[in-house]
A and B are shown apart, each in its own frame.
Chain A
Amino acid sequence: MAYSISYQDRGTFIHRLDPRVKLLWWLSINVTLATWNDPTFLFLLLVSVFAYGRLAGIPVGENLRHLLPVLPFVAFVLLANVAFWRPPDPGEAHLIGNLVGEGFPVLPAIPLYWETLVFSAGTLIRLLVLVLSALVLIKTVSPSELALAFVKMGLPPEIGMALSMTIAYIPVVIGQLTAVMEAQQSRAWNTKVSNPISRFKAYVPIAVPTFFRSFHAAEAMASAMMSRGFGYDVDNRTELKPLRFRPVDWAVAAFLMVFLVAGFLLGFLGVAKYTFTTNLLGLG
């Protein structure tokens, strides 16, 4: 599990692209994401990320499996949206009913509108796209490529290397997290408690050992890196595969730029707004 979330050279067309092009893909998805809130548009965006992943040799099933751990968080955001998001003009909105009615002790009335459901569905998909695009990026760009790309884009080499090492460190932390969870489960550790505060507290036995072990591992990794000349003479470091844009990189980059601009405009001009779907549903 831990290492399947790291880069694997699957030898596909995507893997051979210049890392800057892959960063541009990620950027275009995420900029678009930030400007859209319509679930139909966002769903298509999610499909495009799955399709990009498929082109990179990552089976849809594998990506779905890696989304599973974030589902509780996504569900929480969905619930929060349903409970607290109101259409800007509630008078014009379509009321389904009240989640909590008038006169309920302690809580105010919580009305539920069709618009709220549509908007919340958009938020849910948006989160999934956000996570999935990051996962696909990690799986398709090697940490060293990423470092090079950042350096080529003007970042100091030390920061580029530090970033790439952070990504390389993820599987180590996941491996440690698994070991800690197994150890605590063997002492009947359980998170199945309903109270959110107790639930938060239930994760302390996992968080504390993982933090300390990760800290030690990071220290050991830093020593190992320095013992192999990291930071020796960053300006004269040998690059075995210097980055060069090929025609195919230019072509894909141009396509992504068009996508980025179009996506941004669709959001900016209000086309990819949640009202698109409410209109489709005949709620306009």
Chain B
Amino acid sequence: MTRAVAQEGDDRAPNGQETRPLVYDRVSYAYRGGDTIVRDVSLALEEGKVVLVTGPSGAGKTTICRAANGLIPHEFKGRLEGSVTIAGRYDSRDMGVSSLSKVVGVLSQDPETQLFNPTVEDEIVFGACNYGLPVDTIRDRTERLLGLTRLGPHRRKNPHNLSGGQQQACALASILAFEPLVLVLDEPTSNIDPIGSQQVLDLVAQLAREENRTTLLVEHKIEELADLVDEMIVIDKGEILHRGTVREVLEHVEYIDSVGLSVPQVTLLSARLRTAGWSIEELPIGVEEAAGVLSPLIDRETLNRAPEPPPRRAQHESEEVVVSIAGLSHVYQDGTRALRDVDLEISRGEFVGILGQNGSGKTTLVKHFNGLLKPTEGTVTVAGLDTRKASIAEMALAVGYIFQNPDAQIFKMKVEEELAFGPQNVGLSKEEVDRRIKEAAEDLEISHLMDKNPFFLSKGEKQRVAVAAVMAMHPDILVLDEPTTGQDFKRAREIMDLAVRLHEEGQTVVVITHDMNLAAEYCDRVVIMEGGRVALDAPTREAFLAKDELEASSLRPPQVTVLGQKLGYPRAWLTVDEAVETLGGTRRGAAGGV
């Protein structure tokens, strides 16, 4: 039974005093049969303020969001302690989700499961109709929201046919249509590309500034949000570690980085320099600010002469070309031309990043490597095999493809059987299968899990099982498909560190990503895709200085690379470590070294 909530705008407590729209009072929660996920969390959102909650995977962020509109305790069963009070009068225990959602609108991270209406317009009005708002009000709000989200031209489209950013904007508009007092956004950009993320964050910023909307935002992109947020909270293992303004919290940037959170690179760089004795009073957050802080402290002449950072690891490139693509075009069944006349060669032992926005053709390109897609025109030869003629088994032995979500492949009841699936499919002997799975399990450090049921492992462990299952095939090339999408920074790094280990043993690695920091940190060469063509193919350091090509592909180099250029460094820093190393020798009035 749903209880009706009071009319909008009446957000005063029964005693007539102004109240906080959303209050968590000493909330602790454990899912049924699980450990405590959130411990003793207290939060009180002030009207019109934006609170940013950030923390590594498993920190309890989603649990906090679910508690806001009663999904916890009503839909997710477990043990809830403390209380969540909405608009000063509604206890989340006493009212149903659909009633509380009228006051607290919750948007979750996966756009796909939030869109279930046939058109954008139907999607936007869905909630407002459920709450029985007058027809004219719904019509007016829908028009306004279509304008605000720039979805007007797409109003009759199926929401599933929109880009990731547009999908999230559509889901957000559908919540705004019934004008909840509080917005709770759970990692709204984690599944979408940089352009889409920017669209969503711009929209959130506009709502906060122009409509003074109370917002609880769970995000990792601190850099883009620094100006918008009134309070920042860092949470780990269910407990609040730090809270305050963004600047106050980022004073602990080195610690936050150490728990595996993505932090603004220039803030981390400045903090490291300060630890090394540089006189930096306030840590900068943006590139311009950092350039302003660091410029007076460095000797430009010395920086200009500073050498290029050394290669980060041993290079294994051989003369042997392992992927050879000539004149490749691909047209999908519906007539979409996803690739146009692509030529590309990859040598054995390279570590290559395929970069680009959604729809640029990068995934279509790489799905040609293992024959998941066949060329419409042109040829693709991988490890000597023509992908049009090779069998599934031959291609699976040539290319190991690691998908974003390990749940897409796990189906056996034992890890050992999961690892044996691929090698058995290609007809290897039992002894060989046993040898390979043992070796892959040792490489991925999952030997202790071999008898476990993979369905009950943590997401990180499942990812290792998925990688081991592919590595047991001994592929010539390892492909990682968007390791950062839908994952937090820490987990993406774990997967990439694994790839580095394998690369050090001579493995050819290809990473599909739109994350420039990740590409900068790990890839030796990048291929930038734009509109189905190769827009740029160059060593990473060189590519990230190609400002025009990057801009044309709507890609932005990492903060440290841009900062280097602003400070007058003629080469490119790819990581904070490289910048610290170089700047150490350029400090004005210092003997050198950090």
Contacts and interface: CB of A to CB of B under 8 A. Distances in A.
Interface of A: 1-4, 6-9, 65, 142-144, 165, 168-169, 171-172, 175-176, 179-180, 182-190, 204-205, 207-209, 212-213, 216-217, 220-233, 236-240
A212 B425 contact: no
A6 B158 contact: yes
Across the A-B interface, the 5 shortest Cβ-Cβ residue pairs? A229-B130, A228-B127, A187-B422, A208-B411, A188-B425
B135 A238 contact: yes
Interface in B391-412: 392-393, 396-397, 399-401, 403, 405, 407-411
Interface string B442-456: 000000000000010
Given A213-B407, A229-B178, A232-B2, A186 B470 contact: yes
A6 to B, nearest CB: 6
B4 interface: yes
B138 interface: yes
Interface in B373-428: 392-393, 396-397, 399-401, 403, 405, 407-411, 421-422, 425-426
Contact of A186 (B130, B334, B401, B407): B401
B129 A240 contact: yes
B56 interface: no
A233 B116 CA distance: 19
Nearest to B121: A240
Contacts of A169: 116
Given A3-B161, A6-B118, A9-B119, A228 B126 contact: yes
27 contacts: A2-B160, A3-B158, A7-B118, A142-B117, A142-B122, A165-B116, A168-B117, A180-B408, A180-B409, A184-B409, A185-B392, A185-B396, A186-B401, A186-B403, A187-B409, A187-B425, A187-B473, A188-B425, A190-B392, A228-B101, A229-B101, A229-B131, A232-B98, A232-B130, A232-B132, A238-B129, A238-B133
A231 B100 CA distance: 12
Given A232-B2, A238-B128, A188 B119 contact: no
B interface, size bucket: 35 or more
A118 to B, nearest CB: 35
B397 A204 contact: no
Nearest to A225: B116
A183 B403 contact: yes
Interface SS of A by simple majority: helix
Contacts of A143: 116-118
B74 to A, nearest CB: 9
Given A190-B393, A240-B135, A223 B118 contact: no
Given A172-B112, A212-B455, A228-B130, A185 B372 contact: yes
A226 B426 contact: no
Given A183-B408, A190-B425, 14 more contacts: A7-B158, A183-B401, A185-B396, A188-B393, A205-B411, A212-B407, A213-B408, A217-B113, A221-B113, A227-B97, A227-B106, A230-B130, A231-B98, A240-B138
